[in-house]
């Protein structure tokens, strides 16, 4: 695992480099036609990051909260100090830390480390001529030069941070995992009495954190709570760039012997909070890149994300994608020669201000050649989103539901304890209140449609029961929730259909019809009907009339005799689409699949001609792709053949991008 001092520099600089507002494409194609304007991304320099780093090989884990800014005013750094640091060209970073053994020969002390590249010092003429790395001749001269640089600014640092450190030594840092001498760093070490992280954090709050940041809470409060751990470590860093400085406050805890179930993994469990709340600085406006949850896993195994409970953000270069709250995948491959693989995931809040344990849930599994993972798309029709957080919070996984009914792909109906009317069964003609029922149908409108159907509801209890249409709701394939339409509500669309509002009273041993109506958009399909079952009072119920909600029917448009809708880009991107590539590379989260989706969504579908092409292509592609994907899962040799065929195409697309 990386040493802590190294890791903080790597993490903080990458957070600003990868997620920078300047890299976001908010341009509008000039076609002469009026097009929707992308949502404007607001900018302030302050950011907050929650990080989890897991090293499987060494059985170590670090959790941390970081507050970062490139504005010195956020940390009350004097103009004179920033100017002096930037004017001293050789300094690359300054670290103020409570870390144990912050440098060789330092015990039980709080440290300031001023870091200078060895190469910069060697470029001094008198040192270059006399330095011999084999004998060490000239090293003392380099130490002397490094100390002179450190001493030139240490008094200003003491004053700015209200501390009093004194010179200790100059050491060559090995924390940066250096492999060559020219990349080595000399660290000028200054120390004072040992103080715990909690006290150092509170001192910095009083001296250097603005009231605006303190009162806005967010990760600032989460970091403060973490200082209650006696093993917590404090760092305040100044990372020097050519024209400015990245300031960062960092609280962390490193632990061992952690048992982590990656198959059902939520970072919230490890970050020691019930819910992650953003700073209120980001409440008024659209700041998608200012709060980040970063999960990094170092492993000898190559890992992949099988599924998530949030959206997958295909590209941070697209402002519309950033409206989602979900995961963005940086990398999932080895970044070194030691065979250690790195999985790097980042959660963005989009337009939301908090995130729960359930929303952050991940399923991470190893990539194993010739072993078939449990594919999400294997059980789901095209256009059904998985994970489906809205539905799954109440009724279990969407994949489990479709597996229960036999994994249909289209033209299906299924009911639990009730009957969806498709024709007029003889057994209901004797107790009809509403006249002869019609088959389930969808009434077409200009902008919206009305889904209308009857459920034949039995009462198997020993007392009368009331079913309330207004206590019914529907989830579609996109995991959107629709309330039933009744005449209690204003009906601006002017549907002429009569929809029930009064409860249906059913005597014991009897059955009656309940008519339900749902106003839906034209792209809705794969309907799951949920209603309040009144047979007994249940402690899970939030209804004043008792009972509990449960799913009673599910069907698609074809199942009720309607024409199938073409799957739009948004829909295929959510749960289906790229079926062949998904089967080939093992997961819909695989980088190759994400590349294809990003090309489709951010390039092809951004033009009218591209959208028209995709409509026709989808009809052709989905006529055969499910069968090829299924055959790939059954035949590893065929799967490898497809992979060989796709690889040159993907390489070309990568180069084009």
Residue 534: its pLDDT value, please? 72
The residue whose two tokens read 């950011």 is: 47
d(CA 1, CA 486): 60
d(CA 290, CA 21): 9
The residue whose two tokens read 């303190």 is: 214
**Token reading at 490:** 């204003």
**Token reading at 323:** 């409206």
What is the bridge-based pairing of β-strands 465-467 and 472-475? unpaired
Number of H helices, E strands in the chain: 17, 27
Residue 61 has pLDDT above 50, yes or no: yes
Question: Which residues make Cβ contacts (< 8 Å) with residue 478, sequence separation at least 6?
Answer: 383, 385, 523, 524, 570, 571, 574
Which residue would you say has higher pLDDT here, 435 or 146?
Answer: 146
Residue 71: its pLDDT value, please? 93
Largest Cα separation within the chain, whole Å, is 108
Residue 262: its pLDDT value, please? 84
Q: Dihedral angle at the C-alpha atoms of 185, 191, 195, 200, nearest 10 degrees? A: -60
Which residue would you say has higher pLDDT here, 74 or 425?
Answer: 74
Q: What is the arithmetic mean of pLDDT over 612-629?
A: 70
d(CA 237, CA 93): 7
d(CA 621, CA 421): 33
Task: Count other C-beta atoms under 10 Å from residue 329's C-beta.
Answer: 19
> Which residue(s) pair with 248 in the sheet?
68, 237
Residue 28: its pLDDT value, please? 37
Which residue would you say has higher pLDDT here, 657 or 562?
Answer: 562
Q: What is the arithmetic mean of pLDDT over 496-510?
A: 83
- CA-based Rg of the chain, rounded to a whole angstrom? 30
pLDDT per residue as tens digits for the range 245-302? 999 999 999 998 788 888 778 899 899 898 999 999 999 889 989 999 999 999 888 8
Residue 169: its pLDDT value, please? 93
441: helix, strand or coil? strand
At 466, is the pLDDT very low, low, confident or very high (cuts 50, 70, 90)? confident
Residue 70 has pLDDT above 90, yes or no: yes
Q: Which of 85-99, 300-314, 583-597 has the lowest mean pLDDT?
A: 583-597
Burial of 338 (0-12, 13-18, 19+ CB in 10 A): exposed
Whether this model's pTM surpasses 0.75: no
Which residue would you say has higher pLDDT here, 324 or 219?
Answer: 219
Residue 281: its pLDDT value, please? 94
Residue 573 has pLDDT above 70, yes or no: no
The domains found in the chain, sorted by start residue, are 1-73+210-233+249-367 (no CATH), 77-208 (no CATH), 389-560 (2.60.40), 569-656 (no CATH)
At 356, is the pLDDT very low, low, confident or very high (cuts 50, 70, 90)? confident
Q: Residue-wise over 109-127: b if at least 16 C-beta within 10 A, else e?
A: bbbbbbbbbbebbbeeeeb
Residue 49: its pLDDT value, please? 95
Residue 26: its pLDDT value, please? 42
Q: Which of 138-142, 263-267, 572-576 has the lowest mean pLDDT?
A: 572-576
**Token reading at 510:** 């009897």
pLDDT per residue as tens digits for the range 4-31? 444 444 455 555 444 554 444 444 344 4
> Which residue(s) pair with 276 in the sheet?
355
């Amino acid at each position: 695992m990386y040493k802590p001092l190294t890791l903080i520099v790597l993490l903080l600089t990458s957070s600003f480099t990868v997620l920078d507002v300047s890299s976001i494409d908010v341009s509008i194609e000039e076609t002469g036609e009026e097009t929707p304007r992308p949502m404007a991304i607001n900018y302030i320099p302050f950011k907050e990051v929650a990080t989890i780093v897991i090293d499987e090989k060494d059985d170590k884990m670090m959790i941390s909260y970081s507050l970062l800014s490139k504005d010195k005013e956020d940390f009350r750094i004097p103009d004179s100090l920033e100017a002096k640091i930037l004017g001293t060209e050789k300094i690359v970073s300054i670290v103020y830390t409570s870390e144990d053994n912050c440098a060789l020969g330092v015990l039980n002390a709080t440290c300031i480390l001023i870091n200078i590249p060895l190469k910069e010092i060697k470029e001094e003429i008198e040192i270059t001529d006399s330095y011999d790395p084999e004998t060490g001749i000239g090293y003392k001269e380099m130490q002397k030069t490094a100390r002179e640089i450190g001493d030139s600014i240490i008094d200003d640092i003491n004053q700015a941070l209200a501390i009093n450190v004194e010179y200790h030594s100059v050491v060559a840092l090995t924390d940066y995992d250096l492999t060559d001498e020219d990349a080595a760093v000399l660290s000028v070490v200054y120390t004072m009495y040992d103080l715990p992280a909690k006290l150092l954090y509170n001192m910095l709050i009083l001296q250097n954190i603005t009231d605006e940041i303190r009162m806005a809470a967010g990760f600032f409060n989460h970091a403060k709570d973490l200082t209650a751990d006696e093993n917590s470590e404090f760092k305040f860093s100044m990372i020097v760039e050519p024209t400015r400085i990245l300031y960062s406050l960092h609280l962390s805890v490193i632990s061992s012997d952690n048992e982590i179930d990656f198959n059902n993994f939520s970072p919230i469990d490890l970050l020691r909070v019930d819910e992650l709340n953003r700073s209120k600085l980001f409440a008024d406006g659209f700041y998608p890149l200012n709060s980040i949850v970063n999960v990094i896993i170092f492993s000898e195994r190559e890992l992949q994300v099988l599924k998530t409970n949030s959206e997958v953000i295909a590209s941070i270069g697209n402002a519309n994608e950033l409206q989602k709250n979900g995961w963005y995948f940086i990398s999932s491959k080895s970044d070194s020669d030691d065979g250690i693989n790195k999985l790097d995931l980042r959660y963005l809040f989009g337009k939301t201000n908090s995130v729960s344990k359930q929303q952050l849930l991940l399923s991470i599994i190893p990539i194993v050649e010739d072993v078939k993972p449990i594919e999400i798309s294997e059980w789901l029709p095209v256009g059904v989103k998985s994970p489906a957080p809205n539905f799954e919070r109440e009724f279990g996984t969407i994949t489990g539901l479709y597996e229960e009914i036999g994994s249909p792909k289209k033209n299906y109906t299924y009911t639990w304890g009730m009957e969806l009317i498709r024709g007029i069964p003889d057994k209901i003609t004797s107790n009809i209140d509403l006249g002869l029922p019609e088959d389930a149908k969808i009434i077409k409108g200009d902008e919206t449609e009305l889904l209308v159907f009857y459920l034949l509801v039995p009462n198997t209890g020993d007392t009368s029961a009331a079913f309330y249409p207004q206590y019914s709701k529907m989830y579609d394939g996109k995991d959107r929730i629709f309330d039933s339409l009744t005449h209690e509500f204003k009906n601006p669309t002017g549907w002429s259909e009569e929809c029930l509002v009064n409860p249906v009273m059913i005597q014991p041993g009897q059955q009656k019809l309940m008519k339900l109506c749902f106003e839906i958009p034209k792209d809705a399909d794969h309907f799951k009907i949920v209603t309040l079952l009144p047979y007994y009072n249940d402690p899970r119920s939030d209804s004043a009339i008792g009972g509990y909600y449960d799913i009673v029917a599910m069907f698609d448009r074809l199942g009720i005799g309607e024409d199938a809708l073409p799957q739009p880009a948004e829909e295929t991107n959510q749960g289906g689409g790229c079926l062949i590539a998904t089967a080939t590379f093992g997961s819909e989260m695989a980088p190759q699949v994400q590349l294809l989706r990003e090309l489709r969504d951010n390039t092809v579908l951004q033009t009218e001609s591209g959208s028209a092409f995709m409509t026709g292509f989808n009809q052709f592609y989905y006529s055969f792709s499910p069968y090829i994907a299924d055959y790939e899962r059954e035949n590893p040799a065929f799967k490898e053949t497809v992979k060989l065929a796709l690889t040159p195409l993907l390489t070309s697309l990568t180069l084009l991008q």
